[in-house]
Amino acid sequence: MKNSFWNEASSAGVILGLTSISFSLLTMVLPQKLNIVLSGLSFIATIYLLYMFTKRRAMRFPNEGYSYSQCLGFMVASGIFAGIITGAYQIVASNFLFTESYEQTYKTMIATYAEMGIFDNNAMDAIKSTLHSYLFSPIHVLISNIMAMCFSFGFYGLFIAIGTKREEDIFDQTPENEE
């Protein structure tokens, strides 16, 4: 059963990651006016898919049940794989596909910090290198995506697991220990 947990978590995570990437690509292609709508649709799709995958996992245990913590753990494990997929996409997107867009985001963030006027030159240099690392460095991008997906799926899971947990069958007639 241990392997089936990781197999199901990985397949759920891949689908959730690809869904996230699809919405990310749509926000880059479609007009900015639609970004709020696309963000809402992305949120709804993520919640729905997490619910469905976790519910399907819980249904595989009709007699022994599938607890709240097991449901939550499954969602967090799915977040690991979704984070790997979205992190890999962001690495490719920021360094090869949409470099100009990411560079523009970087420049806008630096300009915003500079306009604040509260940072000296040394602090601004540190901010520049840190921001550049977080946007373009593969290790930082991958780790931050994995952590973000695990935390967000864990947070959503706090509520979703209430509806997906499955109590054990109290009328199960199989004897536990026969002597």
Which residues fall within 8 angstroms of residue 85, CB to CB, at 6 or more apart?
13, 14, 17, 18, 20, 21
Q: Is the pLDDT of residue 151 over 80?
A: yes
| Distance (Å, whole) CA 51 – CA 160 | 6
Tell me the percentage of the chain whose pLDDT exceeds 70.
93
8 A C-beta contact, residue 135 and residue 94 = yes
pLDDT tens sequence across 55-91: 999 999 888 889 999 999 999 999 999 999 999 999 9
Distances (CA, A) of 116 to 8, 119, 134, 159: 47, 8, 21, 39
Q: Would you place residue 143 in the very low, low, confident or very high pLDDT band (cuts 50, 70, 90)?
A: very high
Average pLDDT score over residue span 27-52: 93
Q: Would you place residue 179 in the very low, low, confident or very high pLDDT band (cuts 50, 70, 90)?
A: very low
CA–centroid distance for 49 within its chain: 12
